[in-house]
Structure 1
Amino acid sequence: MTPQDQALHDRVTASFAARFGHASHLVVRAPGRVNLIGEHTDYNDGFVLPCAIGPATMVAVSKRHDNNVEVVAADFGDARDQFNLELPLERNIEQPWADYVRGMMSGVQNAGYALSGANIAIAGNLPKGAGLSSSASLEVAVGKANLALADIDIDNTRLAQIAQRAECDFVGTKCGIMDQLISAQGKAGHALLIDCRSLGLTDVPVPDDVAIMIVHSGVTRGLV
């Protein structure tokens, strides 16, 4: 675990323990991404070449014995959200960050996977609005963590498709598949060539003597 990941792990587990009074059952990490080639082509049946990056989202979870879900967001002053998996889920107008959690868990259930109630803590070190896919990272981490709690193992491409649908249909951002797919399928030391017609994936090694540098312009952007 890198020092960056260790600091994030310590933060999310501390937030979880402070809220719920016990240690989490597991912690899941999903990375952000930068895209090397191919802009606005994933939702036009084109090719893209993203790679996963070090900054990520981590989700700490434990199983509940009811269908309630309680979420605490360490990045928003330990703001909380609560909902019940047996009731129709609606967007949280007052706390938009919660829609990514609600949408992902609703999407997993709509895809036919039975989830249990859960206690969830979330923390990330991806800057919001910087074009590094913090939302896709959150969706993938939430989905992976809650499927693991239910002892369900699904293909990572299927997980990415559910995450994309959650962002498109629940959150309301009509995005392509690239962000969720690289977060779910990225490998260390590689970029990922994605054929968005077929979702065919080809790992592309990054040479050892090449460093990919990301420079923040200071300009916030957002998909709507």
Structure 2
Amino acid sequence: MTAPPVSATTGLPPTAESVIRAFTARHGVAPTVLARAPGRVNLIGEHTDYNDGFVLPAAIDRDTWVAAGPRTDGLVDALALDEEQADDRFPLSAEPPHYPGGGWRDHVRGTLAQLVPSLISIDGMNLVIAGDVPMGAGLSSSASLALALLRAAQKLAGDPELNGKQLARLAQQAENRFVGCQCGIMDQLASAEGRPEHALLIDCRSLDTRAVPLPEGTTLLIAHSRVKRGLVDSAYNERRAQCEQAARALGVPALRDATLDMLNAAQLPDKVFRRARHIITENERVLAATEALRQGDLPRLGELMAASHASMRDDFEITTPAVDQLAAVLQQVAGQDGGARMTGGGFGGCCIALLKKELVPKALEALEAGYRSPEGLPALVYLCEAGPGARADAWTDGTPARNAASA
């Protein structure tokens, strides 16, 4: 599966055109703002973000799109095309009520709530939302939604002050404080500040980012195991608590500050020890992988990605047998010309392979022959490129939105 084509008339992909049409049909007027924000794939550095460590994600050319317009009654009217045209209406407030059952509505409510103190010049909004970031796949569909919402609301309010890092923090706060997932900052920051043809080395303590060029002639092949995952209902929060327990025992602010010597000298419960070992060694792998990318050293990158997957499987225990099988197939294909590993929070989802483009047909054949989900289904494959971060533009005759699509 490749990136969707764009319209010759508007320069927009079909998903963007669909939110514009649906907005106009629902409200009788065209939207005044069109926003988009990408999903992300993490090349290496799993669960290191909330330990103040290092991560190496890339924004991908799969986006959530939001068409938006102002209201004057203090309400938000939201329509989600991907949720069987489900809608929601609630007061624009810093403390909105939770929606019974949560779901996408709580993501919208909680995200906008973080921005309310900055929305001085707006009194409600209409929103239509759709996207092509696969949900439940570990590609940050929720972060993509949050950044698209924040950019849309920011543009509606005429507020140019908040930058990508600040918006990423607000999106993280929505997950932590409202949705109930104690995630780190990686997903949101990658969506906010992605760069075409580059990965993004993120220091999750300082939020410093550094663009790292991807080797010429490579592609991002993302294979979905079809094992769906849910962070709030999984052991994600348990893993975070175990990492915090290890940091306290080692006397450091976060596991980013710990070393293997410190860990080996401590007497920790086995599970806590292994969780900490994954984080400490994963941080080292991220920095080494960054250097391998800079040098175009694909064999070294492949070694580091394989070691990362093994650490997630054995020490952090967040893979599944299906995901392990998927990673093994892709690692075999990549050989010395790339690497593969599970990507995302774990407990299902996707594997990422960075490999030479000429290996894509071989990879597709190997996946068809060598992988089936627990239900007997083949992997879903997305061929992606590294894309730009979130932005919003005024929607008038379509010209600004064409810039938004290609920026």
1:163-204 C-alpha deviation (Å, 9 max, x unpaired): 000111011111000000000010111110001111111011
Asked if 1 retains the 8 angstrom alpha-carbon contact of 2:42 and 2:57, the reply is yes
Which residue pairs with 2:107 in the alignment? Answer: 100
Superposition map of 1:120-135 within 5 A: 120-135=127-142
Distance 1:87 1:54, change over 3 A: closer
Q: 1:220 aligned to 2:222?
A: no
Asked if 2 retains the 8 angstrom alpha-carbon contact of 1:45 and 1:196, the reply is yes
Structure 1 position 137, deviation (Å): 0.4
Q: Give the partner amino acid of 2:49.
A: D
TM-score for the superposition, normalised by structure 1: 0.95
Corresponding residue SS for 2:98: coil
1:96-115 C-alpha deviation (Å, 9 max, x unpaired): 211111111101124x4434
Asked if 1 retains the 8 angstrom alpha-carbon contact of 2:71 and 2:124, the reply is yes
Which residue pairs with 1:17 in the alignment? Answer: 24
Which range moves more in the overlay, 8-17 or 54-63?
8-17
Corresponding residue SS for 1:35: strand
Q: 1:41 aligned to 2:43?
A: no
In 1, the alpha carbon distance for the partners of 2:57 and 2:130 equals: 23
> Tell me, which stretches of 5 or more residues in structure 1 are unaligned?
none
1:190-223 C-alpha deviation (Å, 9 max, x unpaired): 1100011111110111122111110111111121
RMSD value over aligned CA atoms?
1.6
Which residue pairs with 2:36 in the alignment? Answer: 29
Structure 1 position 132, deviation (Å): 0.3
Structure 1 position 18, deviation (Å): 2.1
Q: 1:204 aligned to 2:212?
A: yes
Asked if 2 retains the 8 angstrom alpha-carbon contact of 1:55 and 1:124, the reply is yes
Q: 1:6 aligned to 2:13?
A: yes
In 1, the alpha carbon distance for the partners of 2:65 and 2:39 equals: 11
Which residue pairs with 2:259 in the alignment? Answer: none
| Bigger fraction of residues in strand | 1
Which range moves more in the overlay, 202-211 or 24-33?
202-211
Q: 1:179 aligned to 2:187?
A: yes
In 2, the alpha carbon distance for the partners of 1:95 and 1:18 equals: 27
Q: 1:65 aligned to 2:67?
A: no
Corresponding residue SS for 2:42: strand
Q: Give the partner amino acid of 1:98.
A: R
TM-score for the superposition, normalised by structure 2: 0.53
Q: Give the partner amino acid of 2:208.
A: G
Which residue pairs with 2:293 in the alignment? Answer: none
Asked if 2 retains the 8 angstrom alpha-carbon contact of 1:15 and 1:78, the reply is no
Structure 1 position 116, deviation (Å): 2.8
In 2, the alpha carbon distance for the partners of 1:68 and 1:113 equals: 13
From 137, 145, 162, give the equivalent of 1:138. Answer: 145
In 2, the alpha carbon distance for the partners of 1:60 and 1:98 equals: 16
In 1, the alpha carbon distance for the partners of 2:210 and 2:37 equals: 20
Asked if 1 retains the 8 angstrom alpha-carbon contact of 2:94 and 2:114, the reply is no
Corresponding residue SS for 1:11: helix
Asked if 2 retains the 8 angstrom alpha-carbon contact of 1:19 and 1:72, the reply is no
Structure 1 position 65, deviation (Å): 2.0
Runs of 4+ residues over 2 Å off in structure 1: 112-116
Asked if 2 retains the 8 angstrom alpha-carbon contact of 1:32 and 1:137, the reply is yes
Structure 1 position 117, deviation (Å): 0.7
> Tell me, which stretches of 5 or more residues in structure 2 are unaligned?
7-11, 233-407
Structure 1 position 87, deviation (Å): 7.7
What is the number of residues matched between the two proteins? 223
Which range moves more in the overlay, 33-42 or 213-222?
213-222
Corresponding residue SS for 2:57: strand
1:45-74 C-alpha deviation (Å, 9 max, x unpaired): 110000011111000000112211100000
How many percent identity over aligned positions?
A: 48
Asked if 1 retains the 8 angstrom alpha-carbon contact of 2:107 and 2:179, the reply is yes
Q: Which has the larger radius of gyration?
A: 2
In 2, the alpha carbon distance for the partners of 1:190 and 1:135 equals: 22
1:19-47 C-alpha deviation (Å, 9 max, x unpaired): 11221112101000000010000000110
Which range moves more in the overlay, 9-18 or 194-203?
9-18
